[in-house]
Amino acid sequence: MAKQLTSENLTECGLDQSTSERMIERINPLLASLPPAACWLEISQTILTPDHPFALHQLLYDAVFANWAGVAAPAWFPTEDQVEKTNIAMVMRELHLNSYEALHSWSVHHRADFWELMIERLGIQFNRKFSEVVDLSKGDEFPKWLVDARLNIVESCFNAPSDATAIVFQAEGSPLAAMTYGELNALTNRVANGFTAAGFEPGDAIAVNMPMHIESVAIYLGIIRAGGVVISIADSFAPDEIQMRLRIANAKGIFTQDYIRRAGKQLPLYAKVVDTNAPKAIVLSRGDEPSLELRNGDLSWEGFLSDSDQFDAVGCDPHNHTNILFSSGTTGEPKAIPWMQITPIKCASDAYLHHDIQHGDVLAWPTNLGWMMGPWLIYASLINRATIALYDGAPTEREFGEFVQNARVTMLGVVPSLVRSWKNTECMKGLDWHAIKAFSSTGECSHSEDMLFLMSLAGYRPIIEYCGGTEIGGGYLTGTTVQPAAPATFTTPALGLDVVICDEDGQLSDNGEVFVIPPSIGLSTELLNKDHHEVYFEGTPQLSKGSLLRRHGDGVEQLADGYYRIHGRVDDTMNLGGIKVSSAEIEEVLNSVSGIREVAAIAVSPPDGGPSQLVIYAVLLPGADTQSLTTSLQSAIRSHLNPLFRIHNIIVVDALPRTASNKIMRRVLRAEQSC
């Protein structure tokens, strides 16, 4: 029997006495008579509302699952009717499979058949159809997908009716606007024509350094439709980081804008681009001030954009580059990861299967094109004939929540630190988010209490935890809408992929480092500036069954009841605010600060779970000013890396622990913080 409650328990959560007494009369009989799953379904759907204090939600959840036999207690259970309407259920019926487990097993043992099925279901368009799904003659490390095919993936983004809504958009302080698929297609073609008129050629790499809005989506698609390659650069990066990415990717041009508007302020963006000595810039004007004076050779958006809205897409090999994205490794320079014409098939498949995106759904995910979730959002929405919901403003404020409400968002993606901000400020209280069918969370480790809070905002909807990477083109570990969802846990490897967990000795374990078993559409096969084999395959465990294992760098635990939890990175990279950065990148910047002899940067998981926190170990020079240490180190990060990276703690030490070969032992420092 579940724990019985008193009216006093409820008044302590913020209810008045009479309400508490009435609610107890309904709750306690349920706790006494129903098994936990049925009890929680009844309480969460007929008693609790988003308007109740979250403390009450947490109290009742804890009471219902006080004697739960499993490790992770689901806060959402799919009904039979809900399951039957999912994309996964349709695929299972087509394949005559009677369980999700059977579907996953089929997808990894018949990979070519799986990807051919997804290509058909997603309506991927080809100039010339493939003769073979995958050629593995060079081994699983170097698959050749869609042999002999020619395509331009942008054509698969416009299968929806031309009058269907492609984008709903709202800039901070402005009304909601919308654009149809036909209008987006026309604007994309005007960009593609402008690309050619500006002297760019197929294969040229063009950077995009701006927030997510209608024009940036059209720019992204237009460059690729014209056979170009997008270089993704986050609008929050400092000039040094922008310059590095332009150099690595050999940029021939860059799209940017004059200002970014946040909380009523204008933050200069074009000026940062000018400071990098960037190549030809195309500049949108989104500020309130008169147009900026442009450098010689730069173009205004109006001067670049063609009048012609017709363009024949450039057909490409499936392995041609479409996008260069960046993800930190264990050394100072970020890895430059090319996405190919086929990588978006992985994005759209994960959305179709795991997020259950259907025609007409509305997807929102506060992100930008500098992080893989920006391109992911474009492909996940448009290839699935859904609507992209874009908000150009601070997602931490209530106005973003009102946008989610008014745009009738059906799938809302988050990073966990954003949810914690909403929870702490209660800024989303009283909004109607019942249009949401599912949430998704990625970029950082989740905390179960924060995720329960997120579910409560929409009257309890599932959260699809989604862990992957730029080099995967999507997720390797995730959830579904056909399985119960427990806060801050994963339920399955992604369909079409499988994983194993190994301990430090390379033996199979339920807690250790996760490895992906290739091949899969989406997995990278090259890096522009590093040895791909060395980064992902060299020194990985050899299993007796002979499977090739691919390194990813996450610590994962499989719980006794089958769920998975992520325990952060096992190498010297970290996720801060949903952006991956290496210890070396941070240390290189901080070691140049006055008074610093040397530093070590580590990411620490809070004791109660949740997003990683940046901790700096510092060895100081004699006479260093310790009073201003935090200010000077944070200022250096803001100026040279990213203002979103916040230092949680600085620990002054006499020396850093080192190996015999003089390498900093960051693992020792992480272990010290976990004690």
* pLDDT at residue number 659: 59
Confidence of residue 670 (pLDDT cuts 50, 70, 90): confident
Cα–Cα distance, 262 to 268 (Å, whole number) = 11
Work out whether the CA dihedral 269, 275, 276, 282 comes out positive or negative: positive
Nearest to 562 by CA among 17, 22, 71: 71
Residues 53, 13, single domain; the answer is: yes
Residues 577, 652, single domain; the answer is: yes
Residue 266 lies in a domain: no
Give the chain's domain count. Answer: 3
List C-alpha distances in Å: 139 to 136, 247, 320. Answer: 5, 32, 20
Residues 588, 549, single domain; the answer is: no
Across residues 185-198, what is the average pLDDT? 97
Domain residue limits at 35: 7-64
* pLDDT at residue number 569: 75
Please identify which residue in the block is written with the tokens 């901790």: 615
Nearest to 238 by CA among 639, 571, 672: 639
Residue 97 lies in a domain: no
* Mean pLDDT, all residues of the chain: 92
Give the model confidence (pLDDT) of 430-474 as tens digits: 999 999 999 999 988 888 999 999 999 999 999 999 999 999 999
Most confident of 284-288, 412-416, 583-587: 412-416
- The runs of H, that is alpha helices, within 47-180 are 54-64, 80-84, 87-95, 100-109, 111-122
Residue 553 lies in a domain: yes
pLDDT at residue 329 greater than cutoff 70: no
Cα–Cα distance, 626 to 632 (Å, whole number) = 10
Confidence of residue 609 (pLDDT cuts 50, 70, 90): low
Non-local (6+) Cβ contacts of 427 within 8 A are 396, 397, 398, 401
Residue 507 lies in a domain: yes
Cα–Cα distance, 656 to 598 (Å, whole number) = 8
Where does 286-396 show beta strands of DSSP type E? 299-300, 321-327, 335-340, 362-364, 387-392
Q: Are 208 and 228 within 8 A, CB to CB?
A: no
* pLDDT at residue number 537: 96
Cα–Cα distance, 508 to 501 (Å, whole number) = 6
pLDDT at residue 58 greater than cutoff 60: yes
Return the number of other C-beta atoms located less than 10 Å from residue 105's C-beta: 13
* pLDDT at residue number 602: 85
The 3-state secondary structure of 202-247 reads CCCEEEECCECCHHHHHHHHHHHHCCCEEEECCCCCCHHHHHHHHH
Q: What is the dihedral of CA 353, 220, 374, 253, to 10 degrees?
A: 150
Of 509, 531, 558, which residue constitutes the final position of a domain?
Answer: 558
Nearest to 284 by CA among 343, 218, 337, 338: 218
Residues 552, 578, single domain; the answer is: no
Residues 527, 588, single domain; the answer is: no
Residues 515, 586, single domain; the answer is: no
Across residues 418-427, what is the average pLDDT? 93
Return the number of other C-beta atoms located less than 10 Å from residue 564's C-beta: 23
Across residues 622-651, what is the average pLDDT? 86
- Tell me 130's DSSP state: -
Give the percent of the chain with pLDDT over 90: 75
Q: Which residues pair with 515 in a beta bridge?
A: 500, 551
Residue 611 lies in a domain: yes
Residues 577, 501, single domain; the answer is: no
pLDDT at residue 331 greater than cutoff 60: no
Residue 440: which H helix or E strand, with range? strand 438-441
Residues 618, 531, single domain; the answer is: no
Angle of helix 87-95 versus helix 100-109 axis, rounded to 10: 70
- Tell me 316's DSSP state: B
Residues 584, 541, single domain; the answer is: no
pLDDT at residue 141 greater than cutoff 70: yes
Between vectors from CA 506 to CA 504 and to CA 510, what angle results, nearest 5°? 75
Cis status of the peptide bond prior to 519, with omega within 30 of 0? yes
Give the model confidence (pLDDT) of 359-397 as tens digits: 999 999 999 999 999 999 999 999 999 999 999 999 999
Give the percent of the chain with pLDDT over 70: 96
Cα–Cα distance, 365 to 395 (Å, whole number) = 10
Nearest to 282 by CA among 215, 338, 213, 186: 215
Please list, residue by residue across 409-439, b when 16 or more beta carbons sit within 10 angstroms of its beta carbon and e when fewer do. Answer: bbbbbbbbbbbbbbbeeebbeebbbebbbbb
Of 246 and 640, the structure prediction assigns the larger pLDDT to 246
CATH of the domain at 647: 3.30.300.30
Residue 184 lies in a domain: no
Tokens representing 186 are: 């026309």
Most confident of 255-269, 374-388, 565-579: 374-388
Cα–Cα distance, 568 to 329 (Å, whole number) = 14
Return the number of other C-beta atoms located less than 10 Å from residue 47's C-beta: 14
> Within a 13 Å sphere around the CA of 312, how many CA atoms are in the beta-carbon half?
2
* pLDDT at residue number 168: 98
Q: Which residues pair with 390 in a beta bridge?
A: 169
Residues 578, 670, single domain; the answer is: yes
Q: Whole-prediction pTM value?
A: 0.89
Residue 597 lies in a domain: yes
Residues 547, 584, single domain; the answer is: no
Of 612 and 578, the structure prediction assigns the larger pLDDT to 612
Of 33, 64, 95, which residue constitutes the final position of a domain?
Answer: 64
Give residue 431's identity as a one-letter amino acid code. Answer: L
Confidence of residue 612 (pLDDT cuts 50, 70, 90): confident
Cα–Cα distance, 124 to 641 (Å, whole number) = 38
pLDDT at residue 73 greater than cutoff 60: yes
Residues 644, 601, single domain; the answer is: yes
Nearest to 153 by CA among 374, 375, 355, 308: 375
Residue 552 lies in a domain: yes
Residue 184: which H helix or E strand, with range? helix 181-197
Cα–Cα distance, 188 to 218 (Å, whole number) = 5
* pLDDT at residue number 523: 98
Of 558, 584, 599, which residue constitutes the final position of a domain?
Answer: 558
* pLDDT at residue number 246: 97
